[in-house]
Amino acid sequence: MNANPDIKSLAQKISGLTKNGLDDASTTGENRRELQIAMRELGFALESNSETMQRLAYLAELGDINSRYKTQLYGLELRFDFIGPVFQTLPAYLAETQYRCPTEKCGPLQATYHTELSGFEYVMQPQNASVLRDFNLFMKGRREASGVSSWLDFYPFRDRIISGSEESSQAVLMVDVGGGLGHGLQELRAKFPDLSGRLILQDLPKTIEQAEHIEGVFEPMAHDFLTPQPIQSARAYYIRQVLHDWPDDSCRIILKHTAAVLRRGYSKILINECIVPDEGVNEFVSTIDVVMMALGGGKERTESQWRDLLAAVGLRIEMIWTLDDVTESVMEVVLA
């Protein structure tokens, strides 16, 4: 139940406005308006948190909430309805397993939802369509909602990728690997409307079905990044906030498949992730690290951990660009 405004004072106000019944003159004109406002506020004050969420979700579907607040709503639904129960399970799960790090298919998520599926496999089940929707829409609008700068604001994409790329309309300029609904490629096309070359969005089939396909912006392609990469010799393979979802062994599979299609001296992998400092990690990054661990054995990584992970599959970091101390970086990765 919401604490404000005061329920008692609202009830007294409504009683005063309706003391002679609902058919007298007090329910017309300005008094009628006051009564409407007081009754609406009383309804809000009496709502439980879950009832408030349901109301906002309904308004969001009607389009009565702007995109920024829609994104926050989807994020709240994801946290409360899907992630929250996992965190309630987490302390007991860790104690029972002698604090072993969870893995992709053996962790508090599986204990919570009584499944042997990985987190991503679980949300792809038909009964969890709303979770997948909330995840995709939250990821699509998160930058706008949080005010976080775009990676294109601090990574010199024109100098590092456009310059030196093949100018043929059939050449692939960039593949967005696990790119969700295509928001990253839409942003790229808007910032560089003169781009030549193809932009390809890759994600699992159910996510690609939800993506808004705008002709001339990108080409949608259903693809599982744990299987061989079908696009050869693109100028760039962009991987944003994907690898922190996965443990090292799965990351090595994803990166190995990507490394296999790189053209030496031309192709690059752009990894857009957090790089954790060796000490003095802030609260935000620490929280995300625990979330990734709980949901699938993933983690945020230090620079040395990133370098070791990449070296294991024949890759190396050529340069790093960082937005601020820890929030976000772009690692430009090439064949070793």
177 burial type by CB count under 10 A (0-12 exposed, 13-18 middle, 19+ buried): buried
Distance CA 282, CA 280 (A): 6
Distance CA 9, CA 54 (A): 26
Which residues are known catalytic residues? Answer: 244
Query: Mapping DSSP to helix (H, G, I), strand (E, B) and coil, where does residue 122 land?
Result: helix
Helix axes 248-259, 303-311, angle to 10 degrees: 60
Distance CA 75, CA 84 (A): 12
Cβ(62)–Cβ(53) under 8 Å? no
- Identity of residue 43: G
What the block records as the tokens of 106 is: 């053996």
Distance CA 123, CA 214 (A): 26
